[in-house]
Amino acid sequence: METKNDFEFVQQVVEMVMGQRIFENNRKRAIVETRMMFGLLMVELNYSLNEIGEFMDKDHTTVIHYKRTMRGLLDTDNEMLRRYLRCKELIISEKQPVNLLSDNDFRVKAIRLQNQLDIIRVEYQLLKEENSILESKTQLMADGRFTKILELIKEHTPIGHELIVERKIRKMFDD
């Protein structure tokens, strides 16, 4: 792509994603954020501050300000980060040819993803069960009536003898 087309293409992408026009002559926050997004993306495409400023009819120092401010916004505003990533995705997909997968490659990737999903589901179930156990233990510990009893059992039960203590407690309650 030639320079002018890059500028116009990125302008179209940013205006579409942000829902605002870059060259609208006012200082509403949404419009200024659109300009800042455009400036940052053009800097990341390795255009000079002067080139970007000329296209936007701004000074190069304004482009520096746009870049810094937008980077700060991206660190704190998740919606702005989402829009920024969407712009980058659209720009990159236009600049780089898409590599299409063969049917076999697609099937292999789909099977791998399905296996990963199955593993995640199993891990999720295990974590749910573990969480349930921890919640019941926490609830038991939160009940102050048994805190002293649990501490006593913990102090006087040698490691590896937990089952013996459990059997004795069960026998005590069975009578």
- Do 122 and 114 form a contact (C-beta atoms < 8 A)? no
d(CA 134, CA 129): 9
Whether domain 3-95 has CATH 1.10.1750.10: the reply is: yes
Tell me the per-residue pLDDT of 45-86, one tens digit each, with 9 for 90 and over: 989 999 999 999 999 999 999 999 999 999 998 999 999 999
Q: Who contacts 12 (Cβ-Cβ below 8 Å, separation ≥6)? A: none
Please tell me the pTM assigned to this model.
0.53
The residue among 69, 67, 38 whose CA lies nearest residue 55 is: 38
- Neighbour count for residue 174 (Cβ, 10 Å): 6
Q: pLDDT per residue over 129-138, tens digit each?
A: 988 888 877 7
Q: Determine how many CB atoms are found less than 10 A away from the CB of residue 23.
A: 13
Please give the helix or strand (H or E) that residue 36 lies within, else none: helix 29-44
Which tokens belong to 34?
């659109």
pLDDT of residue 101: 62
Q: What is the mean pLDDT of residues 145-172?
A: 84
Domain boundaries, the chain: 3-95, 118-174
Q: Which of 45-49, 140-144, 147-151, 154-158 has the lowest mean pLDDT?
A: 140-144
Compute the distance between CA of residue 9 and CA of residue 22 in angstroms, rounded to an integer: 13
Interatomic CA distance for residues 66 and 1, integer angstroms: 24
